[in-house]
Structures are given as C-alpha cells and as structure tokens.
Amino acid sequence: MSTGSTSTARRGPGAKSAERRRSIIDAAHAVFAERGYNAGSFQAVADRVGMSQTGLLHYFPAKSDLLLAVLQRRDEVSTAAVDPTAGFAESVLLKARANERIPGVIQLYAVLSGESTTEGHPARAYFTTRFDRLRTGTAAELRALQADGLLGGSVDVAIAAASLAALWDGLQLQWLLAPGEVDVVACLRDYLDGLFARP
C-alpha cells in the first residue's frame, strides 16, 4: 500500500468527523469562557466554527450534550495546566489558577452542578462520576503522602478529600459572585497548609 493510501485511510470520514467534533467543543469552550452560561448560545458556537445550527446538531443533538463535552474539555485544560512533577498541593493551586482564566466555563460548571442534583438531569451521571473519582483519587494521593510521613497520621483522608472538593467548589461560587473579594487560590493554600501542618 502506498504512503498516500495509508494517509487517506488514517484520515477517513471518521477521523474528519472526530476533528470537527473537537473543533466544536473547543469553540464552545471559548464561547462559554468569554460569555458565560446564559449568553453562550448554540448560534455563537456555530458562528465560531463556520457552520449552521443544523450542522452543529448533527454532532450534538441536544445542548446538554455540548455542555457536558465542554465540562470534560475544561477538565482536560485544568489538568494540562499542571506540571507533572508538581506536588499534591501545588497541583491543586495550579488548577485553581487555571480556572480563573475561564470564568464563563466555571459559571457553566456551577450552574450544571447545582441542576444535576435534580433526578433525571442529563448532567447527573457526569457529576456523580466526577465527584466519586475526585474523592477516590484525592484520598489515594493523601494516603500515599501519609504513608511517606508527609501528612499527619490522624488525618482521615476520605474526609479531607471530600472537604477539599466541597471547599473548592464553594470558593469558586463565591468568586463568581464577588470576584474581587474572594481569592480562591489563597483560601485553598490556607486549607492545605493547615492540612499538612505537623503537630
């Protein structure tokens, strides 16, 4: 098989469709980051990628599908902002700092997380899974630090993990309502300093 044929096979309709879908998600992420939840419309996203709303619906039949894809993209952006060599506390603070650059997406997250508590909401599974994964992953990291003697043995890692997630989301909500009065990073740093303080 020639090189040209291999290239064509690798970039067939499926690959082009995946690329198009990714470009729509990136555009939607940018739209919501700039305009927020209410002003971030399907039309604004369609305009940014140069297609009609009908074309957009081919990839995302419902607005909720696109919103969830944006939240998943937000998780990727947040993770990419962290140096792989960073420690636990530094990673948390770097992610929090990255979130400050996308207030509209954080607003989207805050709105949907609250709405997801309603039975049958399309975002319920996403948030249930996300919080479960977050609590489990954070507890595992804290447990490893505890085993290395970097975290006090009296700390209940499961409680600390759930508390950190709750604190972070609560701080972001306060920051959205009063951005000049609440410093999410400073508050998280204070909590983490207390968590890791040795008796």
Residue with tokens 């996203």: 45
Q: If 0-12 CB within 10 Å is exposed, 13-18 middle and 19+ buried, where does residue 77 land?
A: middle
pLDDT winner (highest mean) among 2-16, 33-47, 110-124:
110-124
Q: Are the beta carbons of 81 and 67 closer than 8 angstroms?
A: no
In this structure, which topology does domain 3-196 adopt according to CATH?
Tetracycline Repressor; domain 2 (1.10.357)
Q: Are the beta carbons of 88 and 141 closer than 8 angstroms?
A: yes
Its pTM stands at 0.80
Annotated domain spans of the chain: 3-196
- The pLDDT tens digits for 126-184 are 999 999 999 999 999 999 999 999 998 899 999 999 999 999 999 999 999 998 999 99
Query: Hey, what are 106's tokens?
Result: 């954080």
- The pLDDT tens digits for 66-112 are 888 988 888 888 788 788 899 999 999 999 999 998 888 898 899 88
Q: Cα–Cα–Cα angle for 100, 194, 105, nearest 5°?
A: 15
d(CA 138, CA 140): 5
